[in-house]
Structures are given as structure tokens and as C-alpha cells.
Structure 1
Amino acid sequence: MGSDNETPEERRERLRQEEWKGNPTGNLRDSFHRCSNGSLVDLVGGLGWKGTGILLLVLIVGFIIYGFFYL
């Protein structure tokens, strides 16, 4: 697929893969930290704006319900 036909998400993924191939020690460090902390960028990129909005809404409603019953 040429760069003219790439979506922004595909382009970001391609650039990230190229960076990982060119810097193996950075890849090891990133993998270690991602394993322990997770990656918000990957989560939001995979969900899109609608999924991210729904996730935020669920978290906010859950916090309100928790506060109502337990605080």
C-alpha cells in the first residue's frame, strides 16, 4: 500500500514498527514499561473517538454510583 492510500492510523502504526526495528533496546524498554503500565495511546487509537467517549462515560457513571453507595 502506498503512502497516498494510508489512513493516519496505518501510517502511525507503520512508523512505530519502523522505529521499533531501528532501535531494539528502546523496544525492550518500551515493552517492559507497556507491560507494567499499559498504553493509553494504543487503547484510544484502537477504540476511536466513539469508543473513547463511551469508556469515559462508563467510568464517570461508575464513579458516581460508587460515590452514592459507598461514600
Structure 2
Amino acid sequence: MKKSEEQRENLRQQELKNSPTANLNDAQHRASNGSLVDLVGGLGWKGTGILLLVIIVGVIIYAGFFR
């Protein structure tokens, strides 16, 4: 039983490495059902950086409009 789960996880990891858009799509689906840790893990370091950048820019824009 453990062996099949490990094989399935390895196949999923290989697919994510080969297709960056699938990685982002997987992260979005995890976000609707999972935690922030799952989201960041699914996005990878580039996606996490972009997410942080969007949040920071959003806060700056919000502060500019409602000050």
C-alpha cells in the first residue's frame, strides 16, 4: 500500500516539474481545499514570490486609496 502511494506522489511531482502551468493550477485547487502551507508548496518558490509581490502591491494600493 505504501509503495503505490509513493509511486503516485513521485509521478505527481514529475508532472509538476514538467508543466509549470499545471503546478499553478494544482496550487489553486489546493488553495480551495487546503491550507496556506499546501498553497505555497504547490506554487514553488517562483509562485510564492509572485504571490507575495501581489499581496504587497495590493496593500500599497489599498493604503494609497484609503488614506
TM-score, normalisation: structure 2? 0.50
Which protein is bigger by CA-based radius of gyration? 1
Greater fraction of residues in helix: 2
